[in-house]
Amino acid sequence: MTVIGTHAEGEVGNVLVDGIADVPGTTAFEKMEFLRDKQDSLRRALLFEPRGSVCHAVNVLLPTSNPDADLAFVIMEATKYPAMSGSNTMCVATVVLETGIREMREPETRLVLEAPGGLVEARCVCRDGKVLSVTLSMLPSFVLQRDLAIEVPGLGAVRVDICYGGIFYAIVPAAVLGITLAAISAREIVMAGIAIRDAVNQQFSAIHPENPKIRGVANVILTGPVTTNASFGIKETISATVIGNGRLDRSPCGTGVAARMALLLAEGAISQGASMVHRSIFGTTFSAKIAGTQQVGAYQAVVPEISGRAWITSQSQVYIDPGDPLAEGHCPSDVWLSAG
């Protein structure tokens, strides 16, 4: 199997470009279900140690049955199969164009990629054979529940907002927890995020109104205030997203930004069409704006556009020897805070 190493603003989203011809399923969501339920050994082999890492994801490129899409892909993280990921989609678009899987057209190439959560348009700025930036039209994003009171062991009563941006998030201002949003606080942020996520899922059922198979809060975002950059006159904010088995997204987190944009519009902190910079605690950035609105079930959703950049870092051949006792990998608890 050939894997192209890739990251988007620090978040690793490797791309499996050959070795898997196709898997059963008419849609990318059905293909995801097949891999998750029938062939999860692929995820374990690629993402568990010794081949993978808790901080890696792998995107499986597959044919699409949708006439409006160029390709389908399934996102495999170290602990789950998300329906959508902005950083992983940027990685996929960059690999598809820079390796010649699809023709690159300068100055801009438009791709339509079928993620398990739905179709995503990627507008890629290209020059001299490189993808300089990727702007994604994200999935419709909405606020499911405002100001939900949750009892969190060790933290007490915490009020959270539950929002969808491709997966469900619990969003909490870091200040109410007394946590500083800085890289030095990463472990403190992670431990609070795990506790909040577990408590939310025990006390509240997050279910997508149009696809009830998308359910449960997967990640937690601790947020900073919205400020205005004095030099550029553009709004900006900082956040930290706790994902997987308890680590921080190295990028600002694409689906997390989409979910938060829906919340910020509902709060009146931003307006439709205005650009905003989202920063991670590691200094990486995505820019975002709300391009439009639409209805999702009973919810008024926004359609965010999120821009960032991905880089190819390597190309490797992966071998899985059936005689290897770690053919499907392992996830030791010294760094894997919960089982993968």
**Gap between the Cα atoms of 196 and 153, Å rounded:** 8
- For 212, how many CA atoms within 13 A lie in the half-sphere containing its CB? 1
Which residues touch 109 (CB under 8 Å, ≥6 apart)? 97, 102, 103, 123, 124, 126
**Gap between the Cα atoms of 216 and 5, Å rounded:** 30
pLDDT on residue 235: 93
**Gap between the Cα atoms of 86 and 93, Å rounded:** 11
Identical fold between 2-137+312-317 and 142-306: yes
CATH superfamily of 2-137+312-317: Diaminopimelate Epimerase; Chain A, domain 1 (3.10.310.10)
**Active-site pick, 53, 85, 137, 338:** 85
- For 286, how many CA atoms within 13 A lie in the half-sphere containing its CB? 33
pLDDT on residue 44: 93
Domain coordinates in residue numbering, the chain: 2-137+312-317, 142-306
Helix (H) or strand (E) holding 97: helix 86-98
Active site residue 185: no
pLDDT on residue 239: 97
Q: Name 281's bridge partners.
A: none
- With tokens 């059922």, the residue in question is 205
Q: Is 142-306 in CATH node 3.10.310.10?
A: yes
Residue-wise pLDDT tens for the chain (340 aa)?
A: 999 999 999 999 999 999 888 999 999 999 999 999 999 999 999 999 999 888 899 999 999 999 999 999 999 998 889 999 999 999 999 999 999 999 999 999 999 999 999 999 999 999 999 999 999 999 999 999 999 999 999 999 999 999 999 999 999 999 999 999 999 999 999 999 999 999 999 999 999 999 999 999 999 999 999 998 866 778 999 999 999 778 999 999 999 999 999 999 999 999 998 899 999 999 999 999 999 999 999 999 999 999 999 999 999 999 999 899 999 988 887 777 666 5
CB of 156 closer than 8 Å to CB of 196:
no
**Gap between the Cα atoms of 137 and 86, Å rounded:** 10
Question: How far lies 121's CA from each of 5, 92, 111, 206, in Å?
Answer: 22, 12, 6, 26
pLDDT on residue 322: 87
**Gap between the Cα atoms of 18 and 91, Å rounded:** 16
**Gap between the Cα atoms of 42 and 206, Å rounded:** 28
pLDDT on residue 259: 98
pLDDT on residue 109: 98
Which of 4, 39, 1 is CA-nearest to residue 23?
39
Which of 305, 318, 319 is CA-nearest to residue 15?
318
pLDDT on residue 340: 57
**Gap between the Cα atoms of 233 and 119, Å rounded:** 33
